[in-house]
């Protein structure tokens, strides 16, 4: 069994951020771009949501935002990602940590259909609650702020724009 701490090398955040929205994390050749993107989006959505809750002091939101930026804090990206991959969108990690030569065949198995991954986040199953509520960091955050997680629902809105394009970051 692969030690989940090995994901640390994939989740090192860089000193710059993306328009002050979220830290940049290098997924390398992991084929986990779906997980990286969804975890980043979730963390940003959480911060945006917290700013709308009038019962939360602005200092608390600032503190949580700082914890989001740390590499080993209570709400660091790595903890969100590891828990997401372990509980919501299971991946094997096989082939990701070869020291000598990468295992392209195993790494290719890490890919996922983004629509399926998003549905795992927002929908409950016969046996499980919604994926976002299974993330320990999310549960801890709600507990810390004394918010009842079951009073909230996550929804996804599909947005299409005729001028959408992705610029390559160099």
In this structure, the number of other CB atoms found within 10 A of the CB of residue 159 comes to: 6
pLDDT score for 101: 53
Give the whole-angstrom CA distance, residue 75 versus residue 66: 9
Adjacent-strand bridge partners of 93? none
- pTM (two decimals): 0.71
Q: What b/e readout covers 31-54, taking b as 16+ CB neighbours within 10 angstroms?
A: bbebbbebbbebbeebbeebeeee
Residues contacting residue 22 through CB under 8 Å, at least 6 positions apart:
40, 43, 44
- Predicted confidence (pLDDT) per residue in 93-150, tens digit: 555 555 445 566 665 566 666 787 888 888 888 888 998 999 999 999 999 999 999 9
Structure tokens at 59: 């200092």
pLDDT score for 143: 95
Instruction: State whether the Cα torsion 139-140-141-146 is positive or negative.
Output: positive
Q: 85, 67 in Cβ contact below 8 A? A: no
Structure tokens at 66: 């700082």
pLDDT score for 88: 75
In the three-class reduction of DSSP (H, G, I as helix; E, B as strand; rest coil), residue 36 is classed as helix
Closest CA to 1 of 113, 118, 145, 97: 97
Residue corresponding to tokens 């509520």 = 133
Give the whole-angstrom CA distance, residue 41 versus residue 90: 18
């Amino acid at each position: 069994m692969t030690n989940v701490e090995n994901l640390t090398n994939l989740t090192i955040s860089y000193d710059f951020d993306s328009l002050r929205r979220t830290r940049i994390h290098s997924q390398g050749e992991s084929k986990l771009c779906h997980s990286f993107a969804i975890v980043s989006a979730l963390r940003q959505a959480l911060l945006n949501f917290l700013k709308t809750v009038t019962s939360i002091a602005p200092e608390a939101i600032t503190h949580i935002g700082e914890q989001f930026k740390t590499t080993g804090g209570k709400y660091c990206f790595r903890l969100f990602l590891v828990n997401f991959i372990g509980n919501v969108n299971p991946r094997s990690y096989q082939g990701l940590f070869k020291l000598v030569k990468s295992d392209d065949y195993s790494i290719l198995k890490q890919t996922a259909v983004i629509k399926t991954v998003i549905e795992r986040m927002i929908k409950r199953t016969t046996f499980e609650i919604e994926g976002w509520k299974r993330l320990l960091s999310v549960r801890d955050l709600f507990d810390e702020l004394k918010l009842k997680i079951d009073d909230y629902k996550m929804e996804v809105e599909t947005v299409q724009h005729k001028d959408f394009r992705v610029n390559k970051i160099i």
